[in-house]
């Protein structure tokens, strides 16, 4: 079903894999606001396969949580393929993380160090392709770029030859953190492969989706921090609307979201719309009921919106 979405020709809007944040409750929220595809947070494939406890805590979904891409960190083809087979009945594709720049990931052979191992990436993609028996199940990769872009193009072409379904390009090198995104590099990659390419990096508003599409010709855009700050971004809101804040409260209460996660998301959502003293008070709240009271007293309830 994911590949059919690319066929339709509109630019797909995708929620990035975010450690601790892109879990089921948040995915449920952004799907209400025009997000086309959601990723799970990155899951270490070996741990996932080793323990039932890891599987239950790392991967929760429901029947409305689709299309869903499960992102894995792996450094050998068989564990990635085994993990893919385990989640295939409950998702629409797996994605191999080749972009995480964190030191722990790189030193364990995960994440961004894989962009320097194109043969291994090729092997991993091929294993997933061969071992998941659903032909519509996607096998994608998410990468960062090299300083020498020819290496990145080579990696993407090798992945394509192995049957990669689509490629997400974060337009920075492993060393770069907050520098401007290299959209020209993303365009070069898009022009050098025939599979769909997704642009990732610094998407803050819906208008960025269109301008990046025009700059690069990509088939979709993926947002992380922009969606944390405003989960309704893909629906065209400049800041988080009140309705979206109450939707988050409803979803969190319904799904039993742990307080810290519930609270953290609201801290992000309210950052652009609240003053420093308000933030100070809000950040110190320590229970769901205190948060709900605060929101009602400060912003009013959704019922006030409708009157």
Annotated binding site for FMN: 17-19, 71, 170, 224-225
Query: What's the CA angle centered on 119, arms 132 and 90, to 5 degrees?
Result: 20
User: Smallest Cα–Cα separation from 122: which of 96, 161, 167, 79?
Assistant: 161
Number of H helices, E strands in the chain: 16, 9
| Annotated binding-site residue numbers | 17-19, 71, 170, 224-225
State how far the Cα of 6 lies from the Cα of 86, in Å rounded to an integer: 25
Beta bridge partners of 221: 13, 199
Take residue 125 and report the two structure tokens written for it. Answer: 């993609």
Task: Provide CB contacts within 8 A for 305, sequence distance 6+.
Answer: 242, 243
- Contact call for residues 132 and 101 (beta carbons, < 8 A): no
State how far the Cα of 214 lies from the Cα of 197, in Å rounded to an integer: 13
Residue 133 DSSP symbol: -
State how far the Cα of 301 lies from the Cα of 303, in Å rounded to an integer: 5
State how far the Cα of 222 lies from the Cα of 11, in Å rounded to an integer: 10
Strands (E) located in the chain: 12-15, 37-39, 43-44, 68-73, 93-98, 138-144, 167-170, 197-200, 220-223
User: Smallest Cα–Cα separation from 156: which of 226, 98, 69?
Assistant: 98
- Beta carbons within 10 angstroms of residue 291's beta carbon: 18
State how far the Cα of 201 lies from the Cα of 118, in Å rounded to an integer: 23
Annotation marks residue 38 as catalytic: no
> Given 100, 113, 156, 244, which residue is catalytic?
100
Q: Annotated active-site positions, please?
A: 100
């Amino acid at each position: 079903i994911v590949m059919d979405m690319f066929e339709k020709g509109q630019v797909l809007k995708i929620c990035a894999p975010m450690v601790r944040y892109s879990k089921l409750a948040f995915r449920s929220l952004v799907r209400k606001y025009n997000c086309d595809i959601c990723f799970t947070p990155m899951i270490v494939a070996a741990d996932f396969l080793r323990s039932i406890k890891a599987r239950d805590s790392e991967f929760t979904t429901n029947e409305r949580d689709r299309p869903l891409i499960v992102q894995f960190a792996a450094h050998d083809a068989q564990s990635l393929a085994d993990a893919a087979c385990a989640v295939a009945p409950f998702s629409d594709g797996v994605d191999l993380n080749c972009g995480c720049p964190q030191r722990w990931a790189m030193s364990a052979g995960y994440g961004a160090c894989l962009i320097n191992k194109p043969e291994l990436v090729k092997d991993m993609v091929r294993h997933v392709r061969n071992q998941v028996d659903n032909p519509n199940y996607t096998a994608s990769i998410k990468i960062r770029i090299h300083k020498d872009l020819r290496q990145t193009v080579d990696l993407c072409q090798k992945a394509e030859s192995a049957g990669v379904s689509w490629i997400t390009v974060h337009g920075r090198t492993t060393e770069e953190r907050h520098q401007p995104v290299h959209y020209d590099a993303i365009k070069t990659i898009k022009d050098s492969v025939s599979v769909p390419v997704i642009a990732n990096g610094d998407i803050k508003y819906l208008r960025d989706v269109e301008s990046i599409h025009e700059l690069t010709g990509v088939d979709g855009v993926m947002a992380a921090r922009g969606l944390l700050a405003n989960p309704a971004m893909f629906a065209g809101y400049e800041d988080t609307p009140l309705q979206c804040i109450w939707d988050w409260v409803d979803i969190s209460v319904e799904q039993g979201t742990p307080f810290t996660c519930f609270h953290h998301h609201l801290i992000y959502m309210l950052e652009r719309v609240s003053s420093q003293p308000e933030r100070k008070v809000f950040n110190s709240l320590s229970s769901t009921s205190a948060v709900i009271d605060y929101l009602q007293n400060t912003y009013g309830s959704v019922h006030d919106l409708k009157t």
